[in-house]
Chains A and B, each alone.
Chain A
Amino acid sequence: MKRVPLRHRLAAIVASIVASLLATVALGACGDDDTTNAGDSARSLGATLDPSDWNAVVEAARGQTVNWYLWGGSESINTFVDETYGPVLRDRYGITLNRVPVADTVDAVNQVLAEREAGTVEGSVDLIWINGENFSTLKEAGLLLPAWAQSIPNAALVDWENPAVNLDFGVPVDETESPWSSAQFQLVYDTARMSADELPRSYAALKDWACAHRGRFTYIAPGPGAFQGTRFVKGALYELSGDPALWKVFDQETWDTWAPALWAYLNELAPCLWRSGETYPSTENELHALFANEEVDFTITQAAVGPGALIAEGLVPETAQAFVFDANSIGDFNYVAIPANATNAPAALVLANLLLDPALQAEQIVPENGFGLGFAIDVDRVSDPVQRQALATAAASLGDAAAPAAHLARALVGDAAAEYQDLVEQGWRDNVAGGL
């Protein structure tokens, strides 16, 4: 067989390399070009909408598909969303609901950020279930549809004067998001394993209990996607400082004063924890599984129905029941927001309004429906007697698993300012987990 001359081989390989380099450079150049004026063009799309002209919004929304990005980690919440809002949107408004499950809300935030980088005008995200740091990231970047949340019809049912509603982790909501439901930090125990009078009712008592029952308690590692763990740690901070009001506004000095006591408490607690604190569950559901399988004796929930929805889904035993400490049980509202570049902003507005519909608000707290978080609306503002009745019936059907309403109200406190979120999460990594 004839040898191919060397220069031919060289030519071939060089040509190949040049071709791929050219392609790379050409494609790369296109990508880089797109970054100009993204924000302006994105914003103009939403600006043509006037939420106070509601009929026009509903008309514009007809036939649209609303892409709702929400944390998809709970089977029962997914089902609730699909089966409760999907049919109403379709039948009443001609809107298709496309629920996009994300592992963590930050993924939806990153999608919006990436689209701004790429200059995408017709964004893929229409609505996000959001609160806290994710909200403040998008709001500060100017990537949220402004001035709508108090103009939608059902906004009249929301107590917008309540600071727990108009501040999201201390950040003014400014009509860029609308509430969906409320949540409050609670612990869950198994009535088959212990009786109510054995329960710890403060962080101090919890430490004693944990060290008397080594390895039977743990909490969720604070961090992105595990705000429940962060909230557990913040509650300890409240109790140690003795004054929840101290944490409403960010102050570095306050933090520096109390942080050492917080880490000391958690580090004393650590050796008494499950697996001696060498690892922590990273999500709420991991903790539920440890609780259900008798590795630990408590889990954590935020739901008004306590573990009711978890029992219905089969994640925890039927004998599970919620309780709260006597104080420092952090509660707040969670919201939906619309990115400024949302392609189907009208449909998103209709959905945001629908979430506040009294009949559907009543549905969301029924344990069997699988959602279980509390009302976003102020029930006293509902005037329709039928709707009032529905809300009252739902509130009465919370079931045995729920913590007593009086206990919840007595212990309720607001969340700390948003700046503390990062400090708690990073500080916990540095001081308690001890690593990267």
Chain B
Amino acid sequence: MTGRLAWRTATLIVLVAPLVTLVLQAFSTRWFYPDAWPDTLTTSGVRQIGFDSATLAALRTGLVVSGACTIVSCAVAWPAARVLSRPTFAWRGLVLLVLFVPTIVPAVGLAIGLDVALLQLDLAGGRPGVVLAHLVPTLPYTVAVLSAVFVRHDDRSREQAAVLGATPWQAFRMVTLRLVGPGLAVAALFTFLVSWSQYLVTLLVGGGQVITITVLVFSAVAGGNPTSIGVLAVIAALPPVLVLTIAGRTVARELAEPA
């Protein structure tokens, strides 16, 4: 039992304590060494910085960019994943290799390359360009999750529905979406998380014009104000945590379910 206790303590210190520190910073000012706890907890930082127009704009930009990226990524990955899940598809390995190149290119090189590429295509410095750039790191994950889903639920059920007289739309809505829906949700969640976390790509391709909350956190780090850093970091962590909390059950089921 001491083993379990040690493990639990370690996970609490390493995985949970850092998040608590941020929350404490967000709700305090002038919390200096050696005070183990802030003198007073206050919401003034949250009120000032959390509801600042720049923060709200960055939050909106982040949601729009990552939301758009998720939708496009899923729309593009869906048909690709269907092909990749076919047992008769012999080029699977090669296509997967191409699609997974971005995950093994060191991030800094990929970000720099995408920035120059999109500058030359005259797409840098705007949201569409940033969404396009985010697709590169996100699509591999979307395709991976969706392929696994399609491997599990192939087209046979829908064929049966069709044989039983359902229209293609009915078959899609009532059979495919029912079966694939949870998997699609997990794919969308992953895509959103990967996109939301992008800092370097957003910074470079956005060229200072597209400021997401993730970018704002990093500039707050340079700003050195612990309260601002805490507030912005908590805000940046909230949407993904919320999404996970809502979708958590689905994720757990999809992860645990045998194929």
Q: Within 8 Å by CB, do A and B touch in the complex? A: yes
Query: Does B40 touch A at the CB level, under 8 Å?
Result: no
The range of chain A's interface size is 35 or more
**Chain A residues numbered 193-240 whose CB sits less than 8 Å from any CB in chain B:** 225
> Do residues A108 and B208 form an inter-chain contact, with CB atoms below 8 A?
yes
Given that A13-B94, A124-B209 are known contacts, is A34 also in contact with B122, CB under 8 Å in the complex? yes
B227 adjacent to A3 (CB under 8 Å): no
Chain B residues within an 8 Å CB radius of A396 = none
Contacts A31-B120, A73-B222, A102-B208; is A124 near B125 (CB within 8 Å)? yes
* Contact in complex: A286, B224 (CB < 8 Å): yes
- Asked whether B122 lies within 8 Å of A30 as measured between CB atoms, the reply is yes
B33 CB within 8 Å of chain A: yes
Contact B125 A9 (CB under 8 A): no
Q: Is residue A28 contacting chain B, with contact meaning CB distance below 8 A? A: yes
Residues of B near A288 (CB, < 8 A) are 224
Which residues of chain A have C-beta atoms less than 8 A from B225's C-beta?
75, 285, 313-315
Contacts of B218 in A (CB 8 A): 103
Q: Is B15 an interface residue (CB 8 A)?
A: no
A17 → B minimal CB distance (Å): 9
* Segment of A147-155, A289-297, A419-427 engaged in the interface with chain B: A289-297
Expressed in whole angstroms, the Cα–Cα distance for A315 and B223 within the complex equals: 10
Is the CB–CB distance between A107 and B223 below 8 Å? no
Q: Mark B209-223, 1 if CB is under 8 A from A, else 0.
A: 101000000111011
Q: When chains A and B are docked, how far (Å) is the Cα of A113 from the Cα of B226?
A: 34
* Mask of B192-222 contacts with A, CB within 8 angstroms, 1/0: 0000000000010001110100000011101
> Is there an interface contact between B219 and A73, defined as CB atoms closer than 8 Å?
yes
Docked complex Cα distance between A292 and B224 (Å):
11
Chain B contacts for A69, CB-based, 8 A: 208
Contacts of B90 in A (CB 8 A): 4, 9
If A102-B208, A107-B208 touch, does A72 touch B219 (CB 8 Å cutoff)?
A: yes
Within the complex, the shortest CB–CB distance from B141 to chain A, in Å, comes to 20
In whole angstroms, what is the CA distance A34 to B120 when docked?
9
- A72-B223, A285-B222 known; A114 and B32 CB under 8 Å? no
The CA-CA distance from A32 to B174 in the complex, in Å, is: 49
Identify the interface centre among B122, B207, B208, B226: most chain A CB within 10 Å of its CB. B208
Residue interface mask B221-252, A partner, CB < 8 A = 1: 01111111000000000000000000000000
Kindly state whether residue A136 has any CB partner on chain B within 8 Å: no
Interchain CB contact under 8 A, B120 and A314: no
Residues of A within 8 A of B34 (CB): 294
Interface residues on B, range: 20 to 34
**Interface readout for A86-124 with B: 1 if CB under 8 Å, 0 if not?**
000000000000011111000110010010011000001
The majority secondary structure among interface residues of chain B is loop
Measured CB to CB, the nearest residue on chain B to A110 is: B207
Which residues of A in the span 258-302 have a Cβ within 8 Å of any Cβ on B?
283-286, 288-289, 292-295
**Is there contact, CB below 8 Å, between A289 and B226?**
yes
A13: B residues at CB distance < 8 A: 91, 94-95
Within 8 A of B (CB), among A53-88: 69, 72-75, 78
B147, CB-defined interface residue at 8 Å: no
What CA separation (Å) do A284 and B222 show in the bound complex? 9
Give Cα A183–Cα B248 distance, bound, in whole angstroms: 53
Which one, B29, B33, B95, B122, contacts A31 given CB within 8 A?
B122
Contact A293 B219 (CB under 8 A): no
- Residues of the A chain whose Cβ atoms lie less than 8 Å from the Cβ of B29: 314
Q: Is A399 located at the chain interface by the 8 A CB criterion?
A: no
Tell yes or no: B124 within 8 A of A by CB. yes
Q: In the complex, which of the residues B54, B88, B90, B120 has the most CB atoms of chain A within 10 Å of its own CB atom?
A: B120
What are the 5 A-B residue pairs with the smallest beta carbon separation, nearest first? A285-B224, A31-B120, A293-B33, A73-B222, A314-B29
User: What is the interface of chain A, defined by CB distance below 8 A to chain B?
Assistant: 1-4, 9, 12-13, 27-28, 30-32, 34, 69, 72-75, 78, 99-103, 107-108, 111, 114, 117-118, 124, 225, 283-286, 288-289, 292-295, 313-315, 317
Mark B residues whose CB is within 8 Å of A: 29-30, 32-34, 49, 54, 87-88, 90-91, 94-95, 119-122, 124-125, 203, 207-209, 211, 218-220, 222-228
A/B interface sample: 15 pairs, CB < 8 A: A13-B94, A31-B120, A73-B223, A75-B49, A75-B220, A75-B225, A103-B218, A103-B219, A114-B119, A117-B119, A118-B122, A225-B222, A289-B224, A292-B33, A315-B224
